[in-house]
Amino acid sequence: MRPLSAEPRRPRRDPAPSRLRYRIDRLWLRPWVRRTVNLGVPGLALVLASWTLFAQFDARDRVIAAYETLRESVVRRPQFQITSIEVPEASPDLAEQIRTAAFVTLPANSLEVDVNAVRDRVEALGAVERARVRVLTSGVLEIRAIERVPAVVWRSDRGIMLLDQGGARVAEVDSRRRRVDLPLIAGAGADAHVGEALALVAEAAPVRGRLRGLVRIGERRWDLVLDRGQVIRLPEAEPEAALKHAMALETGQKLLEREVTTLDLRDPRRPMLGLTPYGKDELARVRAEAAGGDA
């Protein structure tokens, strides 16, 4: 008998993926690919669908109109209305300047008023050092300002100005007589040395009633101008010490009550006096008498 022939075997399926499938699987393992497919594609589809819907049915204009209506209804509520501006603890003139600088037209809505911008505009005023702006529930825009205190009167080619202790401009005046209670400084660059000028004024207490002002010379040093045309010329370095020495001479010997026009202290080792014509004649006469007596 002939043996039965076995059935032909089918070729076994290769378990390895194809090259394309392998590359796709490897690409899918990358996080950014998964995030793009899972989030980016649906999000993009949603945006495109929304834009198409808005464009087709004009829903965008309706949404904007509804937002504007809702915003108007909120803005017009009484609790958001500003009806007045108050500037407590300020002089009437400064308060009026602050209200003008605030640039807020009443009635205004508190949601539309930028308090930071209002504060910056108020602090730009020369007379204001710092300001605080807030909206009160009573419908009041409160602006509290710290006013600069004038310390000196500065006369320059730009006019007559009031300066504070730091040299900041406070206000402009038309005449020195507006503030005769403040010391007068003059000259280019004097505004940058207000503190030094005030220290010299304090040191010149013995002649304070005769002091007419301080002049900045060459933006380097000071001259003290007294009545009767007398001038005390101070050095560039350590002017307070030199003036203190001069005031000691004035207190002890009444030097500036004599026929003196200038007291030059620019060289502290060699102070010099300038005399009036009468003083020069008297000095010449005394010298001549002394010379005749020696003969």
Task: Tell me, yes or no, whether 222 and 126 share the same domain.
Answer: no
C-alpha distances in Å from residue 274, one per residue of 12, 126, 208, 231, 270: 126, 42, 21, 9, 13
- β-strand 152-156 against 260-264: which pairing, if any? unpaired
Q: How far apart are CA 121 and CA 98, in angstroms?
A: 9
Domain boundary, last residue among 147, 175, 198? 147
pLDDT score, position 8: 62
| pLDDT confidence band for 107 (50 / 70 / 90) | confident
Report the share of the chain in percent with pLDDT over 70.
87
Task: Tell me, yes or no, whether 286 and 172 share the same domain.
Answer: yes
Least confident of 56-70, 129-143, 254-268: 56-70
Mean pLDDT of the chain: 83
Q: How far apart are CA 117 and CA 108, in angstroms?
A: 15
Print the domain residue range for 162. 152-294
Task: Tell me, yes or no, whether 121 and 226 share the same domain.
Answer: no
More confident residue, 131 or 250: 131
What is the mean predicted confidence (pLDDT) over 146-153? 90
pLDDT of 216 above 60: yes
**For residue 47, is it within any domain?**
no
CATH code for position 127? 3.10.20.310
